[in-house]
Amino acid sequence: MNLFIKNRSRKESLKAIIILFAIVLFFASCKEAPLTERKQLIIIPESSEIKIGEDALRKIKKELKLSQNQYLINQVKKVGTRIAEASGRSDYKWEFIVIEDDNIVNAFCLPGGKIGIYTGILPYTKDEKGLAAVIGHEVGHAIARHGAERLSIALIAKMGQIALNFILDVDNPIVLEALNQAYGLGTEIGIVLPFSRKQELEADRIGIDLMSKAEYNPIGALEF
């Protein structure tokens, strides 16, 4: 009798998990990326996403060295403001910072319109067109909500891992760890990594469109 009750309880719990997944996926599938209109899986509220970006930027400002070169700061803000205005997201509190590190050839985007440019990438951008290509790409990530999308995928993958452990009811910790690692590897290779490449290409496409709207010659992206 106890086994019957236990099995019935597990079936009911599993049914509840499946229903929850279905509801989450249904509402998440309503999102579309700008320009490309790609269906997106986003379950993170935009207000929470923006808060994450603001908190992360505060931490970055405390831990990293910001550039004091006013010419570079003004140039990044000038180009960034034009690209941001072209995005149509006036509800974002856009912020563009320059980080003093000539060894890092990179830029980044935090949720909610917080963009960081390392000084190491500036010799490669050369002029405003090249800088517009970089900033356009990062702004593309922001308005497409790629950060929230990746976080949503990670959360759903975690939910799937919990459900897998529940369904299998494995007590052996060694076997359980092996299953979890296999599941994690599968989601990493099959979902997260390919999706990341798709997001990068999408940010490129959006960025070039933003360059054009901001009256920067998109050929600057090719030159960069």
Positions annotated as catalytic residues are 138
Nearest CA-CA partner of 143 in 209, 78, 55:
209
The backbone torsions φ and ψ at residue 160, rounded to the nearest 5 degrees and listed phi first, read -65, -35
Nearest CA-CA partner of 212 in 121, 115, 133:
133
